[in-house]
Structure 1
């Protein structure tokens, strides 16, 4: 969701044009346009800052800064915030230019309006590889944002940084700032580097930027009334045992019968992941070899909920088969993902 705020008649006219452009086409993203008819601008920002992905302020940069300042938290949590003057001459990323996609949003707005994008981040200015941008555009999460300054600093000094990618395949041409590192001995040649894994555990460099692809889907089935704490504890145990970081989880999947189960909906809300719902027929149509239960099929119409639902939602392969404990079943599927450049 994009939040748009404007503060004058001229600004609101421009905002209306931007809104129309952003919502046109099949790939349009929904827009919430603050027009001053629902409380104050400060209340609008405070209510939606954690909820919306991007904000566009049409007006003075100072107004924007004052409104967002109390809400700012961390690089990996803040939404993209962009400012455009009310005449549409300039568009400036103010917050989360890299991880949140603020720079990309500014360029998108510039293309739509003819405004001049004003990009101030150093790696963009020098045309250098930005690891945090690459991670965000590849659907990944950065676990330790403090390491960004070390990695970007090395790149700006003209140093090469290492790329530790485990078993993930490489696709495309590696940027000249990166060296593909396959052994610990090779990793020792680079002070800074990027480590890509589902666990977030490898730290092969003195300054390691840990990147986790969000490509895991958890399929979950549970008894009615399962306590929220039980599901949370089991999920933590399941992920830790299989060396998967929680931030690698992109979504939860289950059967339609469980779409309002409090433990599931609470887990998704707490961790900011969507709950994918499938009918019993859809689950049984999912191709693959799955654990079969006559009892589960009699009750739900599908012989397996956790394995079938995660494979169906991920459109990938089963990574971890059914595991059961205290009336909860859990499995994990993973999407095909590559280190693309």
Structure 2
């Protein structure tokens, strides 16, 4: 977690230095910023807080502001976007008496950072998220701990509200997902009992949180936490639009009953590594991409006896891009969807090892 500590007084700068030393010993990457003229230890300096925040807000995972809360609220307001992407914001007074989790308590990690800071410098922690105050597990905290994607995100608020209000919200785990022990152990640390998804019909509950990559049909209030299980291989003609490629990928996932939010990587040929439409889709899905050379693709085709297109081979020197890329990207030989042709796109999906 890359952190920035920003102070406005001499005493705050000293506290920031002390805190940075302790955080660094725990493996945290920390930069310190102190106001010009109030920088006794010669750290990075700034003249206007608003200018500094404008320039660095997107560069850090979390900020520790040592100053009045009102100042922080005003200075970060223009840059707050969404709890899925906003950094953790923690505020401290320059005497180190209080540490306040101000923004992105769960997904951004501000609550956890606040608790850590309180332990390091003896500050009283102030955390106001309802699930934490009620000492109840939040669905987004589980998502963060297990590296899961929340779907649909708009449903998170009502699910967490149901948990806080004491409704019977059950957490289910799809047995088809790998690394079961990890899921059970991490959930238990948050006080969450995971129930086998196959038993969902035999339980009486008000709402459900479901860890699965499958598309299910449920009438009761529910939230999915999508695990990273799918590697998608893509081939496309030159200048194919991002809209067409994304539509093909969405349809391909639907064909195998899986969520597009479970895609963890996209593979293709190096010949396509500068294709604007493909790069746009990779950016929209916010997943890593791997572009393979023909020798890698050809070897995979031979080992897995994949279908070959003579036309494609003539055009780019290898007869199958999408299926071979999916297998290589997923480091597996288990194809969930073989090469599937669309107008200008081919898609294949593999189960990640």
Matches within 5 A, 1:285-324: 289=304, 291-293=306-308, 295=310, 296=312, 300=316, 302-316=318-332, 317-324=334-341
In the superposition, the TM-score normalised over structure 1's length comes to: 0.76
Name the structure 2 match of 1:196.
211
Matches within 5 A, 1:1-341: 2=2, 4=4, 6-8=6-8, 10=10, 11-12=12-13, 41-42=49-50, 45=53, 53-109=61-117, 117-156=125-164, 160-169=168-177, 170-171=180-181, 172=184, 175=188, 178=193, 180=195, 182-183=198-199, 185-187=201-203, 189-199=204-214, 201-205=216-220, 207-284=221-298, 289=304, 291-293=306-308, 295=310, 296=312, 300=316, 302-316=318-332, 317-335=334-352
The alpha-carbon deviation at position 75 of structure 1 amounts to 3.6
Partners of 1:46 and 1:278 lie apart in 2 by: 39
Q: Deviations over 1:174-204 (max 9, x none)?
A: 75764625345424x1112212332554435
8 A Cα contact 1:290 1:308, kept in partner: no
Structure number with higher helix proportion: 2
| Number of aligned residues | 332
Greater Rg over alpha carbons, structure: 2
8 A Cα contact 1:160 1:177, kept in partner: no
The alpha-carbon deviation at position 266 of structure 1 amounts to 1.7
In structure 2, the CA distance between the partners of 1:119 and 1:275, relative to structure 1 (3 Å rule), is same
8 A Cα contact 1:160 1:179, kept in partner: no
The alpha-carbon deviation at position 259 of structure 1 amounts to 1.8
In structure 2, the CA distance between the partners of 1:21 and 1:235, relative to structure 1 (3 Å rule), is farther
8 A Cα contact 1:3 1:34, kept in partner: no
In structure 2, the CA distance between the partners of 1:191 and 1:50, relative to structure 1 (3 Å rule), is farther
8 A Cα contact 2:269 2:321, kept in partner: yes
Name the structure 2 match of 1:339.
none
8 A Cα contact 2:148 2:228, kept in partner: yes
Q: Deviations over 1:32-79 (max 9, x none)?
A: 766677895445545665675433333322222222333434443433
In the superposition, the TM-score normalised over structure 2's length comes to: 0.74
- Of the structure 1 ranges 91-100 and 13-22, higher mean CA displacement relative to structure 2 is found in 13-22
Q: Which runs of 5+ in 1 are unaligned?
A: 337-341
In structure 2, the CA distance between the partners of 1:311 and 1:149, relative to structure 1 (3 Å rule), is same
Partners of 1:24 and 1:299 lie apart in 2 by: 55
Partners of 1:12 and 1:302 lie apart in 2 by: 60
Partners of 2:283 and 2:56 lie apart in 1 by: 15
